[in-house]
Chains A and B, each alone.
Chain A
Amino acid sequence: MKNPYLPYPVRIDQIVVETEDKNLRSFRLVFIHPEDEKAFEYTPGQFAELSLAGYGEIPIGIASSPTEKGHLLFTVNKVGSVSSALHNMKVGDVMGVRGPLGNAYPLKAMEGRDVVIVAGGFAVTTLRSTVTWMLHPDHRKKYGKIYFIYGARTPGMLLYRDEMKKWQERDDIETYVTIDREHPDWKGLVGLVPVVLENVAPPSENATALVCGPPIMIRFTQPVLEKLGFADDRVVMSLENRMKCGIGICGRCNVGPEYVCKDGPVFTKAQLNKLPKEY
Chain B
Amino acid sequence: MDKRTEKIREIAKRLLSEGRVDVVLGYGPGTVPLRNAPLFARTPEEADRLVWDSNCRVNLANFLPRTSERVAVVAKGCDARNVVGHIVEHQIKRDQVYIIGVPCQGMLDPEEVKKREGRAIESAVESNGDLTVKGPGFETTMKLGDLLRQNCLTCIHRNPPVYDELVIEPVPEQTGLDRYADIRELLGRPDGERYAYFKELVKDCIRCYACRDACPLCYCHVCFVDEHMPQWLGKSIDPHDVLTYHLLRAFHCAGRCTDCGACEAACPVHIKVRQFTRMLEKDIQDRYGYEAGMSLDKLPPLSVYRPDDPQEFIK
How many Å lie between the Cα of A73 and that of B231 in the bound state? 30
Please, how many angstroms separate the alpha-carbon atoms of A80 and B229 in the complex? 8
Considering only residues 204-231 of chain B, those with a C-beta below 8 Å from chain A are 228-229, 231
Query: From residue B11, how far is it (CB to closest CB) to chain A in Å?
Result: 40
Q: How many residues of A contact B (CB 8 A)?
A: 3
Q: Mark B211-255, 1 if CB is under 8 A from A, else 0.
A: 000000000000000001101000000000000000000000000
User: Is A81 interfacial (CB 8 A cutoff)?
Assistant: yes
Bound-state CA distance A81–B229 (Å) is 7
A84→B228 CA distance, assembly (Å): 12
| Contact residues, A167-188 vs B (CB, 8 A) | none
A251 to chain B, nearest CB (A): 15
Taking CB atoms, residues of chain A closer than 8 Å to B231 are 81
By a CB distance below 8 angstroms, the chain A residues around B228 are: 80-81
Alpha-carbon gap, A80 to B227, bound state (A): 11
> Which B residues lie within 8 Å of A84 (CB)?
229
Determine the main DSSP class of A at the interface with B.
helix
A23-60 interface with B by 8 A CB criterion: none
Q: Which residues of A contact B229 (CB under 8 A)?
A: 80-81, 84
- With both beta carbons as reference points, the residue of chain A lying nearest to B231 in the complex is identified as A81
For A72-86 the 0/1 string (1 means CB < 8 A from B) is: 000000001100100
CA of A81 to CA of B228 in the docked complex: distance in angstroms? 8
- B residues in contact with A81, CB < 8 Å: 228-229, 231
CA distance A221 to B58 in the complex (A): 49
| Nearest CB of chain A from residue B18's CB, rounded to whole Å | 40
User: How many Å lie between the Cα of A12 and that of B228 in the bound state?
Assistant: 26
Residue of A nearest to B228 (CB): A81
User: 0/1 per residue, B73-95, Cβ < 8 Å to A?
Assistant: 00000000000000000000000
How distant is B89 from chain A, measured CB to nearest CB, in Å?
A: 31
Q: How many angstroms from the CA of A81 to the CA of B227 in the assembled complex?
A: 11
Q: CA–CA, A84 to B229, complex, Å?
A: 10
- Shortest Cβ gap from A67 to chain B (Å): 38
Closest to B229 in A: A81
| Shortest Cβ gap from A12 to chain B (Å) | 23
Residue of B with least CB distance to A56: B228
Nearest CB to that of B230 among chain A residues?
A81
CB nearest to A84 among chain B residues: B229
The smallest beta-carbon distance between B102 and chain A, in angstroms, is 41
In Å, the complex CA distance between A84 and B231 comes to 14
Q: List A72-103 residues whose CB lies under 8 Å from chain B.
A: 80-81, 84
State the CA gap A81–B231 with chains docked (Å). 10
State in angstroms the CA–CA spacing of A84 and B230 once bound together: 13
**What 0/1 readout, one digit per residue, does chain B (136-161) give for beta carbons within 8 Å of chain A?**
00000000000000000000000000
Q: Mark A186-218, 1 if CB is under 8 A from B, else 0.
A: 000000000000000000000000000000000
Give Cα A189–Cα B228 distance, bound, in whole angstroms.
41
Minimum C-beta distance from B138 to chain A (A): 42
Cα–Cα, bound, A80→B230 (Å)? 11
A80 to B231, CA, bound (A): 12
Chain B 2-14, CB-CB to A under 8 Å as 1, else 0, gives 0000000000000
Q: Least Cβ distance of A222 to chain B in Å?
A: 33
What is the CB-to-nearest-CB distance from B84 to chain A, in angstroms, rounded to a whole number?
39
Roughly how many angstroms separate A81 CA and B226 CA in the complex, as a whole number?
13
| Segment 184-211 of B: residues with Cβ below 8 Å from A | none
A81 to B230, CA, bound (A): 9
Residues of B within 8 Å of A80, CB to CB, are 228-229
Could you list some 6 contacts between A and B, CB below 8 A? A80-B228, A80-B229, A81-B228, A81-B229, A81-B231, A84-B229
Q: Which 6 A-B pairs have the closest CB atoms?
A: A81-B229, A81-B228, A80-B228, A80-B229, A81-B231, A84-B229
